[in-house]
A and B are shown apart, each in its own frame.
Chain A
Amino acid sequence: MSPLPLQNVRIVDVCQFLAGPFAVQLLATLGAEVIKIESIQRLDNLRLMGGYPQPDGYEWSAAFNTVNVNKYSLTLDLNHPRGKDIFKRLVKASDVVTNNFSSRVMENLALSYEVLREINPQIIMLSMPGYGTTGPWRNYVAMGPNIEMLAGTPMISGYPNGSPMLNGYIADPFASLAGAVAVMVALKHRQRTGKGQHIDLSHVEAITSFNAQPIMDYVMNRRIQPRRGNRHQSIAPRGVYRCMGDDEWVAIAVSSEEEWINLCNAIGNPSWTQEPRFSDAVARYSNHDALDKLIEAWPCQKDKHEVVQILQRAGVAAAPVLSCSELVRDPHLEQRGFIQEVTHPVTGTYRQHGFPVKFSDTPVRIRMPAPTLGQHNEYVLTKLLGLTTEELRQLAEEKVIGTKPLGWPYSEEVDEHDKKLLVGDQGSGVREALEKQRDIDEEETASS
């Protein structure tokens, strides 16, 4: 096997849901050996969101299976003294520990950074709860869309003169990226100095910096920027225009006077392009509505790919609005090998996206599918920690480890049709499972 950039790094990971696991997956794909810890008492909740109410339903969550590739799975009850002991032995043998709980949870488990540092003075610990580990809101709850909102994004997003809008799903992955970068910065520092440290990452802070432009505008000019849809702050035309077919669109983005002239040429220089109200950048921007109406007439009877071809040939930035079904068979992505085929022991063979970076000497890719629950208990406990088969048997008996969740309530298979209904338009809506999640959450609260 060819070498990987982080092949000498080991990470013990107790993250849950999306933001933490995806951060750690980025490091896993770069080559780190990641041991993901769940327990049969408490699954990663992402297994439930999008899982199916059937016997092995917790292995089917598309969300879970997307953000946990290249990881090993170990189940470990951290509330059990033997579970805690094994966890500490793993910390001793690792470089990084990652979690996305509020600081209260790790303290209640007696596994705070101060404790872990005693065990391994070189350890790097990433804590990435929504609001960070300090401050008056540190124990407050937030989900991905809350984070998007707290960063100010919806108030600058939306159709012109319309209500604020959010995407709802992208704040978590933004925080993940910042989390992976943070660990990488700390690893680079440790490589040089031998010193570990604690990383305190607030999703809100990490994402707020994405809005530096409107923030600096407020700071400089006390201006609250309006919602302007797909438009730029000062350049026109920019927009998403309807093409031939059902829900087919093209994005056109002019960035300079030269591109404006190119656009006019590409669409055959209709007489309106010569009107004074479109004569320069400022005029075009102040007449953006009228300009959009006139441009709209051109692509609306054409195939979006044809529109893009004409405009790119003329030297104008344009792209088709791709749905997922088009993206997976796009020739450019195919040539770059971005979409990979993965075979999972339970859910079979499917496609998912790979890593968006190519390394010339240490290529990275999806090497292993997301693990099934406790799939690597034996590898981790015997190969890494040297436990005996007999000890493993005892641990299973005491429910410290296992491969089936305790109290999983579903005994019947769900048919294909129902699966689609369960996933719905949100891709995360197993309502019944969400109700179960609540029960599990209450248990957790009771035990911590």
Chain B
Amino acid sequence: MQTALDGIKVLELCDRIAGPYCTKILADYGADVIKVETPGLGDPIRSVGPFPGDKPELETSGLFLYLNTNKKSITLNLKSPTGVKIFKNIVKLTDAVVENFSSRMMPSLELDYDTLKKINPKPVMTSISSFGQTGPYRDHKSTDLTVWALSGILYETGEPDREPLKIGSYETECVAGLYGVLAMLAALYYRDEAGIGQYVDVSAWEAFHTTQPYMVLLYSQLGVVKKRVGLHWPWGLLPCRDGYVGFFFGTQANWESLCALLGMPQLLDKPGYRSPLERDEHREEITSIIASWLKNRRVEEVFHAAQELRLPLTPAPDMSQIIDMPQHKARGCFVDIDHPVAGKLTYPGAPFKLSETPWRSGRAPLLGEHNQEIYCDRLGYSKRVLVSLREQGVI
């Protein structure tokens, strides 16, 4: 079966997470992605863990392996003029270029959009950066944590008497990467309708802010600034015998379901528990009733019983419990991918399923694995030229 993005040629000049996540999605759905890496070192994420047995090795970073599936790796030194020339030759054969460096980098390499346009009449070029290509902070240094800080979301997350708290792994990077996919495909769609390529500028800060979509409107309309409140009542996140469950009982129907689940219909008429406002006032009491009921029960048992009652109660698994969840098993949420150095490992799979076009479960490339294929077979360099480029440190 043909893939959805079959035939789209993408040139990736990215490192770390946001850019590679963007092109990973494209590659997994069929795009032909060439990843340009620095000779000898490769993408710096190759030296970031996890590693099997905690032994750092260029080819076995779990993060690199996940973020670069189905791509082709070539090495190229863009600090050498020959390297830049070769890069431009590849641009000629490309539909889209993706880069995620600071805003000064591409112009300094003379690889900015205007230059690329002279080489390829209608390329789509996507830049993913923390601040975007314009604005007073464009040269500021940044990480996932500082993007959280600027987004307005950090301020609202965590305990009221503690410092603001970021959650998760590297959400800001993934969000920027997904906006990159969306915008780049939209630009390619337009190119194929109107015959015009364009430059696409993704700001990770702005992108992450949109994941709390109504923050600005709420402030603008009512002056509301949300404060940190820890876990939002009436949400609960409590331990059972074998793991945590999370649940909500904000509506009257939810509360009735919860009382039924606990087998305590008397709570419905209990003074002080009758309305949501009254229940707010007895938070601690109610939480401790639920906690003591949950603590000797199993997650699986509580989950299905609650769902029978249409109560939004679900497991809150840790990483050891996620892969084997029955829903994931049934839908093939995780896939096994073999790799010549790292071996066979289980990876998170497709983020969505398309009925007619398959998602690909290929592996990440070794550093420079496709040098010969790209330089000789596609660009037509001879093996002798390749050897000499290697000797000069260009590849």
Q: Give bound CA distance, A225 to B331, whole Å.
A: 26
A251 touches B250 (CB 8 A): no
> Which of A127-135, A384-392, A396-404 lies on the face that meets chain B?
A127-135
B5, B144, B330: which contacts A185 (Cβ < 8 A)?
A: B5
* A331 interface residue per 8 A CB criterion: yes
Q: Inside 8 A of B65's CB, which chain A residues have their CB?
A: 216
Give min CB distance, A448 to chain B, whole Å: 14
Q: Find the A residue at minimum CB distance from B208.
A: A356
Interface string of B348-362 (1 = CB under 8 A from A): 111111111100000
B149, B200, B212: which contacts A358 (Cβ < 8 A)?
A: B200
Interface of A is mostly: mixed
* CB-CB under 8 A for A165 and B231, given A135-B327, A230-B165: yes
Give min CB distance, B273 to chain A, whole Å: 15
Q: Give bound CA distance, A91 to B167, whole Å.
A: 40
B212 touches A173 (CB 8 A): yes
Q: Inside 8 A of A132's CB, which chain B residues have their CB?
A: 327, 331, 353
Q: Inside 8 A of B164's CB, which chain A residues have their CB?
A: 240, 249, 321
Q: Find the A residue at minimum CB distance from B185.
A: A184
* CB-CB under 8 A for A135 and B331, given A149-B316, A213-B63: yes
* B67 interface residue per 8 A CB criterion: yes
Q: How many residues on chain B are close to A (CB under 8 Å)? A: 154
B169 touches A212 (CB 8 A): yes
* CB-CB under 8 A for A154 and B316, given A6-B186, A217-B62, A327-B209: yes
B220 touches A5 (CB 8 A): no
Q: Give bound CA distance, A167 to B252, whole Å.
A: 24
Would you list which residues of chain A between 341 and 366 have a CB under 8 Å from chain B? 347, 350-353, 356-362
* A316 interface residue per 8 A CB criterion: yes
B330 touches A215 (CB 8 A): no
* CB-CB under 8 A for A335 and B135, given A159-B162, A173-B213: yes
A141, A212, A232: which contacts B63 (Cβ < 8 A)?
A: A212
* CB-CB under 8 A for A167 and B319, given A178-B352, A216-B65: no
Would you list which residues of chain A between 55 and 87 have a CB under 8 Å from chain B? 62-63, 65-67
Would you list which residues of chain A between 185 and 237 have a CB under 8 Å from chain B? 185-189, 191-193, 195-202, 204-206, 208-225, 229-230, 232-234
B136 touches A331 (CB 8 A): yes
B221 touches A62 (CB 8 A): yes
Q: How many residues on chain A are close to B (CB under 8 Å)? A: 159
Interface string of B300-339 (1 = CB under 8 A from A): 0000000100111111111111110111101101000000
* A284 interface residue per 8 A CB criterion: no
Q: Inside 8 A of B151's CB, which chain A residues have their CB?
A: 322, 327
* A22 interface residue per 8 A CB criterion: yes
A420 touches B213 (CB 8 A): no
Q: Give bound CA distance, A264 to B193, whole Å.
A: 54
Q: Give bound CA distance, A223 to B318, whole Å.
A: 10
Q: Inside 8 A of A213's CB, which chain B residues have their CB?
A: 50, 62-63, 66, 169-170
Q: Inside 8 A of B214's CB, which chain A residues have their CB?
A: 50, 62-63, 65-67, 352, 427
Q: Inside 8 A of B49's CB, which chain A residues have their CB?
A: 217, 233-234
* CB-CB under 8 A for A336 and B7, given A185-B185, A200-B355: no
* B105 interface residue per 8 A CB criterion: no
> Which of A33-41, A103-111, A375-383, A431-439 lies on the face that meets chain B?
A431-439
Give min CB distance, B30 to chain A, whole Å: 8
A152 touches B318 (CB 8 A): yes
Give min CB distance, B35 to chain A, whole Å: 17
Give min CB distance, A197 to chain B, whole Å: 4
A216 touches B232 (CB 8 A): no
Q: Find the B residue at minimum CB distance from A427.
A: B218
Interface string of B143-155 (1 = CB under 8 A from A): 1111111111111
A185 touches B29 (CB 8 A): yes
Given contacts A174-B171, A317-B141, 5 further A-B contacts (CB under 8 A): A18-B213, A149-B314, A155-B244, A317-B140, A431-B277
11 pairs, A vs B, C-beta closer than 8 Å: A149-B246, A157-B165, A173-B212, A184-B181, A188-B188, A208-B348, A229-B166, A251-B154, A353-B216, A356-B206, A358-B203
